[in-house]
Amino acid sequence: MISRRNIRVKVMQTLYAYTTSAETERPIDPQKILRQHFSQTRSLLVYLIQLITNIARYAEKDAYQKSHKFIPTEKDLNVNTKLAGSNLLWQILEDKYFIEQQKKEKSELLIDDELIKKIYNKLITTKEYIHYISIQQQNKPEDRKIFTFILNDLMLNNEDFISNVDELYANWNDDAEMLVQILVSYLHKPGASDFQRIISGEKENLLQTCYKPLLKRRIIYSNLLNPS
């Protein structure tokens, strides 16, 4: 899941933090910090999936609220809930790996309901959404298309969303580009990725290849500068 470039960035961030802390009374454990970096990446991915599913499911909430007005109009009684019932959405919601990680991260507690409402209300005015609900039958390519539209056009181009995610996750700027690519791939095949294995075996080997020699050189260099 995680790209080679991102692995190298996180290795260098960890080594910088280790070098800085080596001069203090409580040096950090670089291995622990490195794992925390990857854990933050996984947390952010789960949050993004949680957010996009909540936007899709808001169609049901919108229909319920409008139908329960004191005097609902005909339009209020006929809110289209196709998005909330899409096969793609329910594939995600039934993904055992997502469910497991969602419980661990408690990502639902981080969701800003007002942000969800704003994005959904913008979505239902777009020509892309109007085209989507005009298609009578379930269509997985169209599901992916509307989910990708929500991500690219209504989340990533939304200042409120950027401010929200940046406040919650310090790693957003470092991981955003990579995680968007991962999420787009995930929308093509929910359930195929174990969130605990965010690094493949091949990239785990790359991580060790990058990390251990650099750490060893840093330790040697630090000892030369600060002999006991």
Tens digit of each residue's pLDDT (9 = 90 or more) over 1-53: 666 676 667 766 766 666 676 667 676 676 777 777 778 888 999 999 999 99
Cα angle value 36/40/43 (rounded, 5°): 135
Q: 3-state DSSP call for residue 3?
A: coil
Instruction: Say if CB 211 and CB 199 are below 8 A apart.
Output: no
Place of tokens 């990857």: 38
Query: Is 71 a domain residue?
Result: yes
- Token couple for 218: 């840093």
Average the pLDDT over 102-115 and give the result.
93
Query: Is 219 a domain residue?
Result: no
- The more confident residue out of 111 and 197 is 111
Quick one: how far is CA 60 from the chain centroid? Answer: 23
Question: What is the sign, positive or negative, of the torsion defined by CA atoms of 166, 24, 12, 97?
Answer: negative
Rounded to an integer, what distance in angstroms lies between the CA atom of residue 59 and that of residue 56? Answer: 6
Number of domains within the chain = 1
pLDDT, tens digit, 9 for 90 and up, residues 182-210? 899 999 999 877 776 665 555 555 555 65
Query: Is 149 a domain residue?
Result: yes
- Domain ranges, residue 174: 4-13+37-200
The pLDDT assigned to 224 comes to 37
The pLDDT assigned to 70 comes to 83
Burial of 3: CB neighbours in 10 Å, binned 0-12, 13-18, 19+: middle
Question: What is the sign, positive or negative, of the torsion defined by CA atoms of 106, 109, 110, 115?
Answer: positive
The pLDDT assigned to 100 comes to 92
Q: Which of 179, 127, 138 is nearest to 155 (CA)?
A: 179
The pLDDT assigned to 123 comes to 97
Query: Is 215 a domain residue?
Result: no
Place of tokens 């990680």: 101
- Token couple for 15: 């080594």
Q: Which of 138, 116, 1 is nearest to 50 (CA)?
A: 116
Query: Is 142 a domain residue?
Result: yes
Is 50 exceeded by the pLDDT of residue 223?
no
For residue 130, the tally of other CB atoms under 10 A from its CB is 11
Query: Is 98 a domain residue?
Result: yes
For residue 193, the tally of other CB atoms under 10 A from its CB is 17
Q: 3-state DSSP call for residue 136?
A: coil
pLDDT, tens digit, 9 for 90 and up, residues 126-179? 999 999 999 988 889 999 999 999 999 999 999 999 999 999 999 999 889 889
The pLDDT assigned to 1 comes to 65
Place of tokens 């997502």: 98
Rounded to an integer, what distance in angstroms lies between the CA atom of residue 22 and that of residue 29? Answer: 10
pLDDT, tens digit, 9 for 90 and up, residues 42-97? 899 999 999 999 999 999 998 989 988 888 888 888 888 999 999 999 999 999 99
Is 50 exceeded by the pLDDT of residue 221?
no
Query: Is 31 a domain residue?
Result: no
Residue 57 main-chain phi, psi, to 5 deg = -75, -15
Query: Is 77 a domain residue?
Result: yes
